[in-house]
Structure 1
Amino acid sequence: MVASNPLFQGGGRLSSVSKRFRATVINDIWPEVFFFTLVATMVSLVSQLTTHNLSISNQMLTVLGTVLGLVISFRTSTAYERFSEGRRLWTNIAIASRNLAQVIWIHAPFERVDKKTNQPLTHVRIVIEKKTMINLIQGFSVSVKHLLRGEAGVYYADLYPLISCLPRFTSPKHTTEDDIMPLWRASEMDHKMHNTIREQSFSSGTLNTVLERAQSDPTVLNEKHTSDMSESEVGWLNSLRGRTGKKFDPEKALAIIPSEHPLKPSRNPPKETIFDYFPFLRLFKLIWRRATRRFRPRPDDSAEQHRSFSGRKIRPELADSNVPLEITLFLQNYFAMLMRNAQLQPASATTMINAINSLQDTVSNLERIKNTPLPFAYQAHLRMSLWLYLFFLPFQIYTAFKFMTIPATAFASFLLLGFLEIGQEIENPFNYDLNDLDLDHFCLVIQRELHEVTAHTTPDLDEFVFSQWNQPFAPADRRTAKEMMEDLDHEYHAPEGKHNIRRTLLKSWHEVDKITRN
């Protein structure tokens, strides 16, 4: 999402100019604006240069304009409500992820006993267990991001390292294709439907690679898959994993786990072409294709499938993926284990289950926004009404504006069609458009916050409260906590010590109130 105004920031480089241009809706509305401008030009030339006057009464102009303005305003406001709700829901994911991670890291005890052997579990074992669950929480937000962008499966550079430890089969003893668990089966189906050009470099059969992945050591699997590849192929594989050494490469912070399939980039926005800079060139592209289609095959359009011929954006459909659901099931399973072993207090257990339920509710609401556009009849009727209004506009204003009808019609078309297209643009705010929500930024914020939670050492209070670095009663009493505890003759330790402490705190309030006011 473009948080700042891109029209007045940045340098004069071509990429900066392109970003400013693509942040507008000009590329979506220019064919319609051009058409209505031609109509206005035709009306002006015919009425001025011939004996035929094409002007008509403008009695309906004010009434229809007011009605259309109100309807377009309602359309834009409704779309912005969906945009704003999507942002609030992502805030809910961040809050629930923080709360869940804090309960797991702090409230789940580090001192445990194995019920089978009655031996205490090692500290490192418990930390690994907790950190793995928190990685799944991070993977949840990343999986939701790919789900909303229509990217199915788990083979992404920012998702696969977080969930690669999850089991592939219903039972370790069964390794047939029918035993693949739903999360990985969905990924395999997606991989079959979208074969990459390098699939043969890894295995000859999808099931064989999955079985090999489930039964092999990751290091051995990685060596086997890369031993027969050239240096350029290995570099290609590393680029898919996000290890290219770019200036901004957040995947470097993730684990490096070999996969049986090539990992897709964490971000896969539509590629820019010259037609994004100069949309009118699409007309020449169509003419060139029709003129040369008999002499050569049609060129590949995979880089431009995000736009129609007129330049209008083509929205991707919601992916059929169950990855967020699978992750919440594993989190629920961990919660059930803690409850069975009586390792959570009731209040902490309530907070944890509420956070998991909040994650599930949020992804359902995000899917609702993605899958519920405004009814087609409403959108079609509004657009056709606006087209008719703009088509007859130059006929109604020619008498008053003469040749100024041409720029007046162009401006009115740009204004009304722009507002209508803005509503269409922000109605689904989960894609790669510059005006969409920055889902990658949200996921990285959650990643940083979760790592900050796990960096907390949960120390005992005596380690930091009663130290010489703590002056709890400042500014009224600037002695350290250690000095106050060691000075047993002070009035704080007297029978009326509670009253003396309150008097000190009241004095602190007076001083702070005086210092902080002008």
Structure 2
Amino acid sequence: MRDHNWFKLALTFKGSVIPAIYKRVIFCGSFGFFISILDYLGVPVSFTNLDGVVSSIVLGLLLVFRTNTAYERFWEGRKIWGTLVNNIRNLARLIWVAIDEKSLEDRKAKENNMKLLVAFAVATKLHLRSEGVNSELESLMPPARYFKLKTMNNPPLEIAFWIGDYFQSQYQRNCLGLYQLNALNDVLNSMVDMLGSSERILKTPIPLAYSIHLKQLLLIYCLLLPFQFVDSLNWATGAIVALISFTLFGIEEIGEEIENPFGHDPNDLPLDAICATMRRNIEDLITLSPSASSFKDDNQIANIN
């Protein structure tokens, strides 16, 4: 079964970098085949001493650095969203059990603000993808707030303001203690920090000069390969050059895909699934009966946190 899954994964086309690099691979392979034709016709195209023009070691180090840098950005993005998920779950739990309910409207207000926590995650996802406020958010807030959110430059920050304003109003109504207010605001501040960290990854791409230089070296290296191999490989030159270029271009393309982990590519973070999971978690929590009495005392809250 493991071998079957291994071969199935190895032969998978969707989610691989093949669609992005096949044109480059075909070009390099065709160029290698063209050099084979010239060699067959007696044109002196064999230069075995070209292997030092672009050192394979230097190129390999550049590719490794490029891929490692991109993966660090990908993994940092995943840790940021993991922290965001935990913060939203903790904040939802504290809202549900720590804020007193003096009327039926208080219960409804708590539910609405817990949905705003999900809205914060969804708005952050859309913001990082440079997408406008859409129907995903419409069911998570009143119509007036939804239409106001459409006019904001940074929707998740506006949602965080609404949540913080709710905490302050509950404190003024004596439904929330001072320590509880500070604890809730600390978690909310951490959520805003995660937004800022995500924006930092998004707005700090790999330097353009580095990307251009790496692409130039890759192209030079792959175009020089046929001249090195044609004397010994003859008609197999094109196939071998295509195979080597497939490996090198594939590694470079993987780095390109994962350096911005917030998009829609198959190799990006599954932000849609993460947001859907948070929504289910909040909906499940709302079905429970809060026991606010156990959170009345500030000292008890301190012990819990």
Please name the residue that 1:478 is paired with.
Answer: none
Please name the residue that 1:94 is paired with.
Answer: 85
Please name the residue that 1:280 is paired with.
Answer: none
2:237 to 405, 424, 440: 405
Change over 3 Å in CA distance of 1:28–1:360 after alignment to 2: same
Please name the residue that 1:253 is paired with.
Answer: none
Please name the residue that 1:146 is paired with.
Answer: 126
Please name the residue that 2:298 is paired with.
Answer: none
Change over 3 Å in CA distance of 1:31–1:63 after alignment to 2: closer
2:240 and 2:74 mapped to 1: Cα distance? 32
8 A Cα contact 1:61 1:393, kept in partner: no
Change over 3 Å in CA distance of 1:150–1:461 after alignment to 2: closer
Q: What is the letter of the counterpart of residue 8 of structure 1?
A: K
2:49 and 2:273 mapped to 1: Cα distance? 51
Please name the residue that 1:357 is paired with.
Answer: 189
Deviations 1:121-142 (A, max 9, x none): 32x2211111011011111111
Shift of 1:167: 4.6
1:432 and 1:167 mapped to 2: Cα distance? 27
Please name the residue that 1:216 is paired with.
Answer: none
2:218 and 2:75 mapped to 1: Cα distance? 26
The correspondence of residues 297-336 of structure 1 with structure 2, limited to 5 A, is 321-336=153-168
Please name the residue that 1:164 is paired with.
Answer: 142
TM-score of the aligned structures, taking structure 1 as reference length: 0.53
2:139 and 2:163 mapped to 1: Cα distance? 17
2:266 and 2:170 mapped to 1: Cα distance? 43
8 A Cα contact 2:50 2:224, kept in partner: no
Consecutive unaligned residues in structure 2, runs of 5 or more = 295-305
Describe the SS at the equivalent of 1:419.
helix
**Higher Cα radius of gyration:** 1
Deviations 1:325-364 (A, max 9, x none): 1100101111211233343334422321111111111111
Describe the SS at the equivalent of 2:139.
helix
Deviations 1:408-456 (A, max 9, x none): 1011000000000010011112222211111111001111111222222
The correspondence of residues 419-498 of structure 1 with structure 2, limited to 5 A, is 419-459=251-291
Q: What is the letter of the counterpart of residue 151 of structure 2?
A: R
8 A Cα contact 1:139 1:159, kept in partner: yes
1:25 to 17, 29, 47: 17
Please name the residue that 1:136 is paired with.
Answer: 116
Shift of 1:166: 4.2
The correspondence of residues 372-387 of structure 1 with structure 2, limited to 5 A, is 372-387=204-219
The correspondence of residues 15-164 of structure 1 with structure 2, limited to 5 A, is 20-48=12-40, 50-58=41-49, 60-61=51-52, 64-110=55-101, 121-122=102-103, 124-152=104-132, 154=133, 156-164=134-142
1:460 and 1:90 mapped to 2: Cα distance? 29
Alignment RMSD, CA only? Answer: 2.4
Deviations 1:183-205 (A, max 9, x none): 3434xxxxxxxxxxxxxxxxxxx
Deviations 1:466-517 (A, max 9, x none): xxxxxxxxxxxxxxxxxxxxxxxxxxxxxxxxxxxxxxxxxxxxxxxxxxxx
The correspondence of residues 254-265 of structure 1 with structure 2, limited to 5 A, is none
1:335 and 1:87 mapped to 2: Cα distance? 29
8 A Cα contact 1:58 1:397, kept in partner: no
8 A Cα contact 2:98 2:292, kept in partner: no
Q: What is the letter of the counterpart of residue 99 of structure 2?
A: A
Q: What is the letter of the counterpart of residue 329 of structure 1?
A: F
1:52 and 1:125 mapped to 2: Cα distance? 87
1:8 aligns with 2:8: yes
Shift of 1:58: 2.9
Change over 3 Å in CA distance of 1:77–1:146 after alignment to 2: same
Describe the SS at the equivalent of 1:86.
helix
Shift of 1:376: 0.8
Larger relative contact order, structure 1 or 2 (CA cutoff 8 Å, min sep 6): 2
Please name the residue that 1:185 is paired with.
Answer: 151
2:199 to 363, 367, 377: 367
Deviations 1:376-413 (A, max 9, x none): 11000100011001111110122232222221101100
Please name the residue that 2:303 is paired with.
Answer: none
Change over 3 Å in CA distance of 1:337–1:24 after alignment to 2: same
Alignment length (residue pairs): 289
Indicate the structure with greater helix content: 2
Structure 1 moving runs of 4+ over 6 Å: none
1:21 and 1:7 mapped to 2: Cα distance? 12
Consecutive unaligned residues in structure 1, runs of 5 or more = 10-16, 111-120, 169-179, 187-320, 463-518
Describe the SS at the equivalent of 1:354.
helix
Q: What is the letter of the counterpart of residue 452 of structure 1?
A: D
TM-score of the aligned structures, taking structure 2 as reference length: 0.87
Please name the residue that 2:176 is paired with.
Answer: 344
Shift of 1:22: 2.9
